[in-house]
Structure 1
Amino acid sequence: MTASTRITTPFTAASTAAEVIAGIDLTGRRAVVTGGASGIGVETARALAGAGAEVTLAVRDLAAGERTADDIVATTGAKQVLVAPLDLADRASVAAFVEAWEGPLHLLVNNAGVMASPETRTPEGWELQFATNHLGHFGLATGLHGALAAAGGARVVSVSSTGHLRSPVVFDDLHFEHRPYDPWEAYGQSKTANVLFGVEATRRWAGDGIFVNALMPGAIRTNLQRHVTEEELDRMRAQSNAPAGFRWKSTEQGAATSVLVATSPLLDGVGGRYFEDCNEAGPNVPGERKGVAAWALDPAAAERLWQVSLDLLDR
């Protein structure tokens, strides 16, 4: 990846989802947004619906999903905002969602996630953040491959994080069985996996017209941080006041990069890349909290992760 080939747009960290989708018509397109009932998922879904797409909110809390759908309809006039149950940490739930889906799927926004949770394991013994943030979305996307291929020019959006800079995928101990559990390292590993998924999925699926990109939405105060301590939030708040530190984004700004990656004509036929602040990111410079780590774009690691994921899910 060189500066000459990096995708740049007129948009910035301050741009909103409504601004990046202005002028784009999604009439006739169908979209799924996981975690579409909270945080940036709501604003991602709102922007897509406002542009004419049929949007399905794939959520654990159906009541919250219905409230969100009603709100989106009221604010956009959209008529096709649907709600469906999905628990990414539950293989049976993912399988049921895939089984129930009918027809083509043009946009899959893998937005849901858990951050820095206490050590928790699924019934399979999998570490929860890896299971939810990566394996659940991997199972969903691969299960919906036929629907994505049928759409012609489908896009999958993988919501990652600058947290991926904290850890590569540690293949020798994915689930913290032989090392002390660290909630932030576990989160970082899962977010690196989100980027690697885009690399390998694009390699495998570009011939089917499916392109997958990852992104960092920015620092947004949402329910995602429910497991983060007040001390950690205090530190983050202090950083946000520093001239060179990050700035909190509104949820509308936080959804902008997801919406851009999902809809911008500049990304037609583009996959396997990582975006932040509505532009393709450059390589990470050690010591900085921006850019993309080389380990997250490593094709060998991406291929290995794909096979490991298939094996874990018994595919």
Structure 2
Amino acid sequence: MTTAPRITTPFSASSTAAQVVDGIDLTGRRAIVTGGASGIGVETARALAGAGAEVTLAVRDPEAGRRTADDIIATTGNKEVHVAPLDLADRASVAAFAAAWGGPLHILVGNAGVMAAPETRTPEGWELQFATNHLGHFGLATALRPALAAAGGARVVSVSSSAHLRSPIVFEDIHYRERPYDPWTAYGQSKTANVLFAVEATGRWADDGITVNALHPGGIRTNLQRHVSMEEIERLRTANPTAVTDWKTPEQGAATSVLVATSPLLDGIGGRYFEDCEEAGPNRPGTRTGVAAYAVDPEAAARLWQISEEFLAS
């Protein structure tokens, strides 16, 4: 965890993505938003396009992506909104996407994800949430590193969650081969990985001018919760009244992602965790805000990076 002063902004939990990016000119910048065809990914892409960026929606369903792109073009007037197929749980798909990218990349938003999924494994035997939420984005970002370096001052946005407070990385059994599977701790572990990636990548890529920050977007009802019923949400709320905050709109949910991607206040800043458009402080026991010490631990970050490379090379 950095000892530098915490970043504060004029924005808050109720700010929208459009408000955060207002006055920022992204003309000439190129951005990728994974999961850009649903939920906060749509509003993240819309805000970036509205500020003038060329935006590529990296999506599992290209048809849905094209519908979203058409909507963003219609609402922003920016015709430079593109669609490309990407399945983060498929190493070949990640490699093909990265290989097809040409030229610099200024903004990479790792927004796609799965939440609280039933126990599912990739062909490699990896637990699906860890494979999608972390390993897929890790593979994508590392493959695109030359494009990010070519941009000069590129930013990578790692969309995590307050659910990271549910679990550190259990290095001895990441893929639940020995312990009983639990969808929420598996999700939490993958979201911790998103923060640790920001910590390690910022240090490794500093010479390329690339900064990486993580964030919690807030509670937003989107397709991310397709495996989670309202009854389950209410059960969690009853069990822990601080676990579920007031719902944000998708426009508000995208605000912190857009802030991390574009705000001049974050120039040269990396390895940090944001929520409600502010840099978060340490988590206090009994609360569901702030960042866990284990999620910004440099030793864990370095260990996760090494293990992730080994998984993807196997």
- TM-score norm. by structure 1 comes to 0.97
- Does the aligned pair in 1 maintain the 2:237–2:243 contact within 8 Å? no
Instruction: Give the 5 Å matches for 1:134-283.
Output: 134-235=134-235, 246-283=245-282
Rounded Cα–Cα distance in structure 2 between residues aligned with 1:137 and 1:292: 20
Distance 1:116 1:238, change over 3 A: same
Is the 8 Å Cα contact of residues 95 and 143 (structure 2) preserved in structure 1? yes
Shift of 1:79: 1.2
| Aligned-residue offset at 1:229 | 2.9
Aligned partner of 1:5 in structure 2 is 5
Q: Bigger shift: 130-139 or 2-11?
A: 2-11
Taking the aligned partners of 2:264 and 2:7, their CA distance within structure 1 comes to: 11
CA contact (8 A) 1:3 1:282 kept: no
Q: Which stretches in structure 1 are left out of the alignment for 5+ residues?
A: none
How far residue 230 of structure 1 moved from its aligned partner, in angstroms, is 3.4
Cα RMSD of the aligned pairs, angstroms, is 1.7
Q: Is the 8 A contact 1:239 1:245 kept in 2?
A: no
Distance (whole Å) between structure 1 residues aligned to residue 304 and residue 200 of structure 2? 9
Distance 1:165 1:207 in 2: 31
Structure 1 pair 55–170 and aligned structure 2 pair: CA distance change class (3 A): same
Kept after mapping to 2: 8 A contact 1:60/1:86: yes
Distance change >3 Å, CA 122–CA 51, structure 1 → 2: same
- Decide whether aligned partners of structure 1 residues 170 and 243 sit closer, same or farther in structure 2, where only a CA change above 3 A counts: closer
C-alpha distance in 2 between matches for 1:166 and 1:259: 25
**2:24 is matched with which residue?**
24
Letter of the structure 2 residue corresponding to residue 304 of structure 1: R
Instruction: Tell me the amino acid that sits aligned with residue 229 of structure 2.
Output: T
Corresponding residue for residue 15 of structure 1: 15
Give the 3 Å change call, closer, same or farther, for CA 236–101 of structure 1 in structure 2. Answer: same
How many pairs were matched up?
Answer: 314
TM-score computed with the length of structure 2 as normaliser? 0.97
Is 1:299 paired with 2:298?
A: yes
Q: Post-superposition shift, 1:108?
A: 0.1
Please, which runs of 5 or more residues in structure 2 have no aligned partner? none
Distance in 1 between the 2:277 and 2:51 partners?
18
Residue 301 to residue 2, structure 1, CA distance change in 2 (3 Å): closer
Partner Cα distance (2:100, 2:125) in 1: 27
| Offset of residue 237 of structure 1 | 6.7
Q: Please give the alpha-carbon distance, in whole angstroms, between the structure 2 residues aligned to 1:36 and 1:238.
A: 32
Alpha-carbon distance in 1 for matches of 2:244, 2:260: 25
| Cα distance in structure 2, aligned partners of 1:2 and 1:106 | 24
Equivalence map 1:55-134=2 (5 Å): 55-134=55-134
CA distance in structure 2 between the partners assigned to 1:3 and 1:275 by the alignment? 15
Q: Tell me the amino acid that sits aligned with residue 49 of structure 2.
A: A
- Aligned residue identity for 1:185: T
Q: Cα distance 1:3–1:151, how it changes in 2: closer, same or farther (>3 A)?
A: closer
Q: 2:243 and 2:306 mapped to 1: Cα distance?
A: 40
Distance verdict in 2 for CA 1:54–1:260, change over 3 Å: same
Q: Name the CA shift for 1:194/1:245 in 2 (closer, same or farther; >3 Å).
A: closer
Alignment deviations for residues 227-258 of structure 1 (CA, whole Å, 9 cap, x no partner): 11332123367799x79961100000000000
1:50 aligns with 2:68: no
Q: Percent identity over the alignment?
A: 78
Does the residue aligned with 2:211 lie in a helix, a strand or coil? strand
Aligned 8 A contact 2:122 2:131 in 1 = yes
Query: Relative to 1, partners in 2 of residues 1:179 and 1:156: Cα closer, same or farther, differing over 3 Å?
Result: same
Kindly provide the amino acid, as one letter, of the partner of residue 266 in structure 2: L
Q: CA deviation at 1:2?
A: 7.6
Q: 2:147, 2:25 → 1: CA distance? A: 21
